[in-house]
């Protein structure tokens, strides 16, 4: 990988992680969300919000630190298909 590709991946991880953290925080606070064509309410929405929050924090850590397994996790997350 070139230096430009690595920098792009780190920025993508940072932006995606921030989006997930915000969405997770918002979902946990409101206890309601739409995901995967379904509406989640109450405890189910809170659990989904916490999942998004934790995934977002892991992606941000992958972008900001130089820990190998977090970088690998971040690349796998970016390359995965729905």
pLDDT digits (tens, 9 = 90+) for 9-45: 888 889 999 999 999 999 999 999 998 889 999 999 9
- Confirm whether 29 is domain-assigned: yes
- Confirm whether 4 is domain-assigned: no
Choose between 78 and 33: higher pLDDT. 33
Average pLDDT, the chain: 88
- Report pTM: 0.81
φ and ψ at 11, to 5 degrees?
Answer: -65, -40
φ and ψ at 40, to 5 degrees?
Answer: -105, 135
- Confirm whether 50 is domain-assigned: yes
Predicted local confidence at residue 66, as pLDDT: 81
Predicted local confidence at residue 81, as pLDDT: 66
- Confirm whether 72 is domain-assigned: yes
- Confirm whether 74 is domain-assigned: yes
- Confirm whether 65 is domain-assigned: yes
Domain assignment of residue 48, given as a range: 13-79
The total domain count for the chain is: 1
């Amino acid at each position: 990988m070139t230096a430009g590709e690595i920098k792009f991946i780190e920025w993508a991880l940072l932006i995606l992680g921030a989006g997930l953290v915000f969405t997770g925080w918002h979902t946990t606070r409101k206890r309601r969300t739409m995901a995967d064509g379904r509406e989640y309410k109450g405890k189910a929405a809170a659990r989904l919000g916490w999942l998004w929050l934790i995934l977002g924090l892991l992606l941000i850590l992958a972008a900001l630190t130089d820990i190998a397994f977090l970088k690998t996790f971040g690349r796998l997350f970016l390359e995965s298909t729905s």
